[in-house]
Structure 1
Amino acid sequence: MKKGYKALVDEAMAEIKTYTVAEALQKYQDPNVQFVDIRDPRELEREGIVPGALSAPRGMLEFWVDPESPYYKPVFGENKEYIFFCAGGLRSALATKTMQDMGLEKVAHIEGGFGAWKAAGAPTTEKQRK
């Protein structure tokens, strides 16, 4: 293997903005900030969610962000800061780097992901099942 996940994450971390949970919490109610949960839907049902966060599964993220994609989501065209998180902070580091490479200018991720958010007692709730 030429480059493993650790090297990819390390490279991403060197180029992206990372917030601690405390820093992210300061931005949580800001209307100019959109929290983006990139975890798999099964993780959301099992672990819970951050109220108000947009669920954007990692496998669809590039398609949802690109205005030329048939799957484009207009929320990504708004003039907001996007704070990505996953379960532990690895996938969100890679996703944040990719979004930055795609041209989203105000992007960051949460160190430690949802696990750190929940452990800090930050707002969470159960995902409503359909």
Structure 2
Amino acid sequence: MPELKTSVAEMVAKARDRIREIETPDAIAMMDDPNVVIVDIRDVRERQRSGFIPGSFHCPRGMLEFWVDPASPYFKDIFGQDKQFVFHCASGWRSALSVATLQDMGFEAAHLKEGFSTWEKQGGPIEFPAPKSSSE
């Protein structure tokens, strides 16, 4: 396999140097603020397996730029609100890259530095999706 020009670890480090990172206790304190939207970019299977932050908005990573861009046919109104957006993934790597990309697009946001991995350990509440009935 050819050597990569840039490793993912280097990409994440460069992103973290230029974005706003929020520590888990600070994000827990923000979760009930009506001016804050916590956005979960993890895969739906991760949310089913590990739970999710109550009140968070789920935006799969693959759709992020399309849902944020008002010129996109996939734009979601939630991203047009004048609120503070805090993105998270499991460990903070995907969300760091995502927020750097959004910043390049002109969309201001922050991310949960350590991701969902420390949320419950540090006292953050979690919910699990309701089980699907056999008729669904």
**TM-score tier after normalising by the smaller chain length:** over 0.9
Q: Helix, strand or coil: the match of 2:85?
A: strand
What is the CA–CA distance in structure 1 between the aligned matches of 2:112 and 2:13, rounded to whole Å?
15
Give the equivalent residue in structure 2 for 1:121: 123
Asked if 1:87 is matched to 2:90, the reply is yes
Counterpart of 1:57 (choices 40, 60, 76) is 60
Question: Could you report, residue by residue, the CA deviation over 1:79-127 in whole angstroms, capped at 9, with x for unpaired residues?
Answer: 011000001111011111111111112x111121111112212010112
Q: Structure 1: where are the runs of 5+ without partners?
A: none
What is the CA–CA distance in structure 1 between the aligned matches of 2:103 and 2:71, rounded to whole Å?
17
Counterpart of 1:67 (choices 58, 66, 70) is 70
Map 1:13-32 → 2, pairs under 5 A: 13-32=16-35
What is the CA–CA distance in structure 1 between the aligned matches of 2:131 and 2:82, rounded to whole Å?
31
Higher normalized helix content (fraction of residues): 1
What is the CA–CA distance in structure 2 between the aligned matches of 1:70 and 1:113, rounded to whole Å?
29
Give the equivalent residue in structure 2 for 1:44: 47
**Contact preservation (8 Å) 1:48, 1:127:** yes
- Shift of the 23–56 alpha-carbon distance from structure 1 to 2, 3 Å rule, reads same
Equivalent pairs counted in the alignment come to: 129
CA RMSD in angstroms, aligned pairs only: 0.9
User: Identity rate of aligned residues, in percent?
Assistant: 47
Q: Helix, strand or coil: the match of 1:118?
A: coil
Q: Structure 2: where are the runs of 5+ without partners?
A: none
Counterpart of 2:103 (choices 96, 100, 116) is 100
What is the CA–CA distance in structure 2 between the aligned matches of 1:75 and 1:103, rounded to whole Å?
16
Q: Report deviation, 1:129.
A: 4.1
What is the CA–CA distance in structure 1 between the aligned matches of 2:100 and 2:38, rounded to whole Å?
16
Q: Helix, strand or coil: the match of 2:14?
A: helix
